Each structure stands twice: as structure tokens, then as C-alpha cells.
Structure 1
């Protein structure tokens, strides 16, 4: 029987911890502040397309460009590293074009690499080797619903969290983002 509640729960929790949408709230609020808004639907749909693309075509697409999963992971980690520096130092590294605003920031850096980045890709490729695809699909869909809820409530969260708290959270999560990026780089350069 392909649908297995235990597998679905495992996949959902693994992806939830990799995507870390709750831990990304300070980053989301920072993107929202800089770009003037977030298109929750667009970011969720693009993230979903990327995740399903990774699931079915991930290794083939990378092979087409002559890139291995480790190189892709390092590239995504460098973007995360720069985002972490941006959050900690308060310097703008990713320039936002005011004419594209929320539309472009819903794709980069939100949908990729934050939600559906290198960590998500490598996780999905690993999960595919251990679980039924049907259960992985359900796990992806559950995570996309959670992502949508958090992104959609970003304006409410911004009103509820004081600016000083947001700044402290940004620094803390910027440091965590740096640590995750360094871990990804170390793990993939040593292969």
C-alpha cells in the first residue's frame, strides 16, 4: 500500500525542519519591509513547482548542466550566507528593484533558496530513495499549505511583533542562517 501515514508524517517533519518556515519569519518580515510586500500565492506556487521539479527531474536537470548536487548545494549555501550577513550587518546585499517589488522577492530569495533551495532539493532526492513517491507528494503538499499560511499572515505578524523584537530576531536568525550555510558548504565541499 503506497499511502502510509507513518511515511507521510516522517516526510512532512523532515521537510518542515529543512524548510524551517517558522524560523524564517524574521527573514520574511525583512523581505516584506524591503520590497513592500510578499505575494504568498506566487511564492507558494513557485516553491511547489520547484519541489516537484526536484522530486521528478532534480538529478536530470543538474546533469544536463553538468552540475552535481553538491555543487548546487554550495551555490545555494552561498546565497544563504550572504542573506545571513545582510541580516546581521544591516547592509543591503540583495538590491531590490522598486519596479518589481513583491513580485520578484517572492521568487528570489523567498521561493528559492529559502523555501525550495539546495537543502530541500537534496532532502527530496534522499527521501525519494527511502519512501514511496505518493507519501512524499503528500508531505510536500502539507508543507506548502504551512508555508502559505505563514507567508499570508506576514503582515499580521509584522503588526504583532515590535520593531525592536524583529531586529533582535533578525540578528539571531541571521547567525543561524550563517551556521546553516557554513554547514552546507562544509558537508558538500568534503564529498
Structure 2
């Protein structure tokens, strides 16, 4: 079991773009206004546990219900595509009911460890060693925690325009990841 810094960095950047915690700051700020306190520790731990668990048992769950990884990855590419479109164009395609508390739902799942993240984790298994993906998940979880704890400061420093620019940049990166994920897996379906 050997850690590869390049793989950890690459997997970490991919997860960072997919999770898009900085781009989610406006959503978190809005949730904070609606429900008061956001449970940062609980949300981070649950999201990290979900991601690591899905990395190990996700493929088995898919096999149990008769879905192969390539089909799941192509479906995930569509989800990433639409998430990227939302980020780039500033529109909302998915509307959810307002939550009563903000920790596990909607922050841990689906905001951090959503379908796009799960799909990305499964697709990365073919490219990276498992220990490097886990390291990337843990590093991203630390970043998520730091961002959740400092959303007020980030909002003050970046302002609405700064957050909007960062969201669009990560939207384009996410769109490129969606295209790569789609093209890499669609061939294996036929």
C-alpha cells in the first residue's frame, strides 16, 4: 500500500470540483438564514463516511440491483452535466423542500456526498489506487469542514460577485469532468 501524491492531488482536485463546497457557500448561507445553526462537524463526518463507504460497497449495491458501473457512471455524467449547467448559468433545475435542520440533509447528502460525488468515486476506482482516493476524500472533508465553519467570513471576503465567479469557474471544470466521464464510459456500454 503506497501513497502517490500525484494521484492524491488529482483525485482531490476532481472531488473538490465535484463537491464544489466553495460554490455551495451561497446555498449554505441561505440554509443558515433559514434554520439558524449548521452542524458543521456532523455534516462533515457523515459525508466523509458516506463517501468512503460507497467507495467500498457502491459497486456491490449496484450489482445487487442489476446496474453495471459504466451505466452508473454515464448516468452520473448526466447529473454532473446538469449540476455544471446550474453553476454556469445560475439557474436552479432541482428544487427541494426547505429543510428543518441543516446537517445530514441537505448538507452531508446530497450537497457534499451526492450522486455526482458517488459516481465520481466509483469512476475514479478504475484510474486511482483506493488508498489515494481515501486520502483525497479525507483532505476534501477537512476542506469542507473549514468552509462550513467559515461561511460567514468567506461571504464577507469574497462578496456575492466573488462567490458567483468561483461558482462559474468550478461549473466549467465540472462540465469538463462530466464530458470526460461520459466519453470514457459510454464506449463500454456498446
Task: State TM-score, norm by structure 2.
Answer: 0.76
Instruction: Structure 1: state its 5+ residue gaps.
Output: none
1:151-166 residue pairs with structure 2 within 5 A?
Answer: 151-166=148-163
Shift of 1:161: 0.3
4+ residue stretches of structure 1 with deviation over 6 A? Answer: none
- Correspondence 1:149 to 2:150: no
* Aligned 8 A contact 2:86 2:93 in 1: yes
1:1-191 residue pairs with structure 2 within 5 A?
Answer: 2=1, 4=2, 7=3, 9-20=5-16, 24-36=20-32, 39-100=39-100, 102-103=102-103, 104-106=105-107, 107-113=109-115, 116-124=117-125, 126-128=127-129, 137-138=134-135, 140-191=137-188
Instruction: Structure 2: state its 5+ residue gaps.
Output: none
- Residues 82/34 of structure 1: CA separation in 2 closer, same or farther (3 Å cut): farther
Which secondary structure state, in structure 2, belongs to the residue aligned with residue 54 of structure 1?
helix
* Aligned 8 A contact 2:11 2:136 in 1: yes
Bigger shift: 68-77 or 45-54? 45-54
Shift of 1:169: 2.5
Bigger shift: 97-106 or 33-42? 33-42
Task: State TM-score, norm by structure 1.
Answer: 0.76
> Aligned-residue CA RMSD in angstroms?
3.0
- Residues 20/49 of structure 1: CA separation in 2 closer, same or farther (3 Å cut): same
Matched residue count: 182
- Residues 177/142 of structure 1: CA separation in 2 closer, same or farther (3 Å cut): closer
